[in-house]
Amino acid sequence: MKIRQPIQLIQPIPMKIRQPFHSSTLICSTLFCQQSTLAEQTIDQVLPTAIAFRSTETWEGQLGARTDAQDQGNPAFSCCIHNPTPGLANAAARRGNNLAASAHFDEAIEQFSQAIAVLPSPRWLLSRAKLYVKAGRNEAARADLRLAIAGGPQEPGLQFEIENLLVKLGEYQLVEQTIPAILSWHADAPAIILGQFQYLLASAQEHLGDRSQALENYLSAATNFMIQGSSAPAAFCVQRANSIASLNSSTAPYEVGTLSPPREGLEQMKKMVAHLVSEPNLFQPPVVQAVTGATMSSSSQHQYFQTQSSQPLTGVSLVCLNDLPGVKQELQILTATRKCCLRLSDLDSVLAGCQRVDVPEFWNPQLVKAHAYKVASGTLVLSVYVGGFREAIDITVYGDGTPFRGEERPLNLSPQEEALGRSRKISQLLEADKKAQTLTATEQWLKQSPTDVDANSYRAQALAKAGKYEEALKNIDFVIAYADRTKDTRFINRDRGNWPLIQRGTYQVGLAKYTEALQDFKQAFPPTPQADDYYWRARAEIGVGDLQNACTDLQSAISGYFADARIVRRDETKKLLQETRQRM
């Protein structure tokens, strides 16, 4: 691939020590390409979404979604206590993100501006630039994007979003100047990451009239997309290349099928797989080293070792012999697809005498298909891309009796670890509002441990979520008695007050027992009530007709929800306040 040298960078890009992309990151974050027709020519429609590498703090993906679920247990200001200046900036940015997700774009710009004034994070500059574009303020967006790239390459997902927006805004020369340094910085990245940047670079070069360089970069991008199993963007890049090549009548049209996969060290890879098929004692470290050409690089307390491959097996990126409890025999080999695309058809003669077997699909079957065979030491599983060059990305051998990935494996956890894992699982179910599953899980837990305070606490929350407040009272009363007896700081502390008693008060509101709820709140509130405390007390006050105090509490709740970036909850409370004032 030839890349046009930049004319002159707006600001020199500092070269920092970069961490190489680990092959396991590539395998575990296989990226999905949205299928598109070749007629669609916008970047967003054609390029794959870099799920594992894109910014997680993007309001665009949350637009119209409820943002309170993840925010409720983690107020934005909680990070400000020990590190106030960056903490306040983070809090403002979080509010900006959730305001934008709720379509309060002007407020969102204001909050991101407050955050940027403290800390001009490229991520926040990108978010504000997107909001400026939405408001039709393209010059302001360009200024933010220039500031965002001034510090040099960022993590690839963020950098891609910046360059993508620059292309949309027609900043082609700036894109052509900056992407070569990005490609150099992320030289070890997965092929699909390089393909995305090469596409943006080619697009900018095509707009600038540099057709020869654009042609080469479109084809390089197409090859990288094919390496990562993404056929649709590869086809689109080939179409763009053909639109340039068609200007020269002597140039034959390009086709996806004629793109050449990397095949470095193919014969050695085939020999390695032949040994994996025939070797009966495969799970001994000396045998692994002999078969894979790997040398041990580290060991850990978890009883497995990882080995980094050495020459001549350039097509191998990582070897892992797993000796965890319950997984006694598992050899995993991750392939280096950017060096060698090992196709299933390359192994026809090697696998000819092997019996095919069925195994659970560990990957997304739309992206990767498992092909399994009985071999001398157990079962060989080749995980192969469905699209692209259709190469193997993972070669794993399981000993007889070893559970496959995708099957339940014994964890050998202590009772404390089991309880912690169960608590986390139920907490996730509650957050996801999966009422039926939460009720089932808490019921099973209580059957095993009827006097477990955590089981009773989660059961009460699950019942309340399902609107079964009378039943929830029985479980929360058990927790209240436990908290009063033990003074357990998980349930009673200065910051949260008497949490179980507050919970009971909310259940009383659900049952229209407003006087009882107010009594609980009076006893339970902390010295500085939280937004939810004010909200629920206001609900009870409305129930008893105390509308003046209700309005005061609702206003306090609105301020608290805004501070904590709980924008949907703030908007709901604003509506309730308006309705309450109309009744006065």
Does a structural domain hold residue 202? yes
Within this chain, do residues 281 and 350 fall inside the same structural domain, yes or no?
yes
**pLDDT bucket at 323, cuts 50 / 70 / 90:** low
| 408 found inside a domain | no
CA distance 377 to 359: 16
Q: How confident is the model at residue 50 (pLDDT cuts 50, 70, 90)?
A: very low
Tell me, yes or no, whether 306 and 453 share the same domain. Answer: no
Q: What average pLDDT does the segment 173-191 reach?
A: 93
Assess if residue 570 is contained within a domain: yes
407 within domain boundaries: no
The per-residue pLDDT for 312 is: 60
* Whether residue 48 sits in one domain with residue 69: no
Q: How many CA atoms lie within 13 Å of 298's alpha carbon, on the beta-carbon side? A: 7
Q: What is the pLDDT of residues 290-303, one digit of tens each?
A: 898 887 665 544 34
Give the model confidence (pLDDT) of 478-508 as tens digits.
999 999 999 999 999 999 999 999 999 999 9
Q: Please check whether residues 234 and 365 belong to one and the same domain.
A: no
- Quick check: is 113 in a domain? yes
pLDDT band at 432 (very low <50, low <70, confident <90, very high): confident
The tens digit of pLDDT for each residue in 240-275 reads 999 999 887 777 899 999 999 999 999 999 999 999
What gap in Å lies between CA 83 and CA 118, rounded to an integer? 13
d(CA 20, CA 367) in angstroms, rounded, equals 25
**What pLDDT score was predicted for residue 409?**
55
pLDDT confidence tier of residue 426, bands split at 50, 70 and 90 = confident
- Whether 229 shows a pLDDT value over 90: the answer reads yes
Examine residue 405 and state whether it is found in any structural domain, yes or no: no
Please provide the average confidence, as pLDDT, over all residues in the chain: 83
Q: Which of 154, 188, 207 is the last residue of a domain?
A: 154
Domain boundary among 399, 433, 451: 399
Kindly state the average pLDDT of the residues 402-427.
70
Q: Which long-range contacts (CB under 8 A, 24 or more apart) does 11-15 make?
A: 11/150, 13/152, 13/153, 13/178, 13/181, 13/185, 14/151, 14/152, 15/152, 15/185
Give me the mean pLDDT over the 545-552 stretch.
Answer: 98
Report whether pLDDT(315) > 70.
Answer: yes
Number of domains forming the structure of the chain: 4
**CATH number of the CATH domain containing 115:** 1.25.40.10
Residues 526 and 426 in one domain: yes
Q: Which residue has the tokens 């494996």?
A: 409
Look at residue 404 and tell me if it is in a domain: no
Both 46 and 181 in one domain: the answer is: yes
| 538, two tokens | 């206001």
Residue length, the chain? 584
Q: Mark whether 186 and 226 lie in a shared domain.
A: yes
Are residues 220 and 150 located together in one domain of the fold?
Answer: no
**431 and 541 in a common domain:** yes
Q: In the chain, what percentage of residues exceed pLDDT 70?
A: 79
Please state the rounded mean pLDDT for residues 538-547: 98
| In a shared domain, residues 380 and 454 | no
Is the pLDDT assigned to residue 5 strictly greater than 90? no
- Among residues 93, 123, 154, the one where a domain terminates is 154
Within a domain: residue 179? yes
Give CA 205 to chain center in angstroms: 32
Which of 57-71, 88-102, 125-139, 392-406 has the weakest average pLDDT? Answer: 57-71
In this structure, the answer to whether residues 554 and 449 fall within a common structural domain is yes
CA dist 345 and 266 (Å) reads 12
Q: Are residues 355 and 309 in the same domain?
A: yes
Q: According to the model, what pLDDT value does residue 100 have? A: 92
Provide the residue range defining the domain that includes 281.
266-399
